[in-house]
Amino acid sequence: MPETVNQNRRRMLAATVMTIAAAQFPKAGAADAPAGGTSSQFGPLKQVNASLLNVGYAEAGPAGGPPVILLHGWPYDIYSFVDVAPVLASAGYRVIVPYLRGYGTTRFLSPDALRNGQPSALAADVSALMDALNIKKAILAGFDWGARTANIVGVLWPERCKAMVSVSGYLIGNQEAGKLPLPPNAELQWWYQYYFATERGRVGYDKYRHDFAKLIWQIASPQWKFDDATFDRSAASFDNPDHVAIVIHNYRWRLALAQGEPRYDDLEKRLAEAPVITVPTITLEGDANGAPHVDSSAYAKKFSGKYAHRTITGGIGHNLPQEAPQAFAQAVIDVDRF
């Protein structure tokens, strides 16, 4: 069947699916009503060896469908996409939702591997996962660490990224930029980054990771009325034996307080130039995002391909795909048309 016919049918199916989904989910403003329940579940998780890791991931949709990889952030996990995945799967996409290194069932293959949380390492993990699953090119979509990871893949390996959905826009940073002081109010928002820079912070996060993560959820999404069961379902992924080490290394690396690995030096040099992202992109922002973020006008010019920005209203916070799954899924479907 000609590819143009396939695309037209896929778009018609996607429109139908989104219409049905819209009828099933109540609205809050222009987005989904923030949900607090745990009725949605993934099927049995899968595992695959991919370079340094044995990656745990959820999969939905037809095996031959256009691949979409959904990337979570900190302190969240794959359940941020539990209501996004079935919408995309019903629209014909092959949906892959991996646990990042240090989360859930993802494990290092070697006990001697550095528990490295630097951003380029996480992006290399995505490329390795695509190799392991025989995926040449995929739509990448994510938020927080996941959006940053998608951004980096889009810059370093644009031939592997068909299109992108990035919550909070352009998130590529570098250690030199991390040394620059911000205005006091902005610095206050990064309190946990400085806490993690101390040994007290490492021990405290290890001891109180459940309560710490819950506090971040509340601060980052102040209007999201999630219930304990919803939080606990995701918090289980923080019991990963490498979780604390990965999180602490990530934030210390940003402040140049921890070294990365030489294997990523060339990648970091390229990222330090703040390169423009050329792949088609939709950026999203919740109107009630309590996490540090800048206005979309500050990063719009960092996307040179076909580009659009959407602000999702209705009290939507930082965990946008879980708080507004319809809007997030629609962005993925729409960017595929770019």
Q: 75 falls in which pLDDT band (50, 70, 90)? A: very high
**pLDDT attached to residue 178:** 84
Tokens 């009290």 sit on residue = 315
**pLDDT attached to residue 185:** 92
Report the C-alpha dihedral over residues 242, 244, 245, 247, rounded to 10 degrees.
110
Checking if the pLDDT of 11 tops 50, the result is no
**pLDDT attached to residue 332:** 98
Q: Where are the alpha helices (DSSP H) in the chain?
A: 3-24, 85-90, 119-132, 145-156, 175-178, 184-189, 191-196, 199-220, 228-235, 243-254, 265-271, 320-323, 325-336
Q: What DSSP letter does each residue of 157-219 carry, written as one string?
A: -GGGEEEEEEETS-----HHHHTS---HHHHHHTHHHHHHTSHHHHHHHHHHHHHHHHHHHHH
Beta bridge pairs of residue 71: 142
**pLDDT attached to residue 39:** 59
More confident residue, 29 or 225: 225
**pLDDT attached to residue 32:** 54
Checking if the pLDDT of 175 tops 80, the result is yes
Checking if the pLDDT of 240 tops 50, the result is yes
SS3 48: strand
Task: Give the whole-number percent of the chain exceeding pLDDT 90.
Answer: 86
Checking if the pLDDT of 286 tops 50, the result is yes
- Whole-structure pTM value: 0.90
**pLDDT attached to residue 275:** 97
**pLDDT attached to residue 40:** 82
Checking if the pLDDT of 194 tops 70, the result is yes
Tokens 């990889």 sit on residue = 69
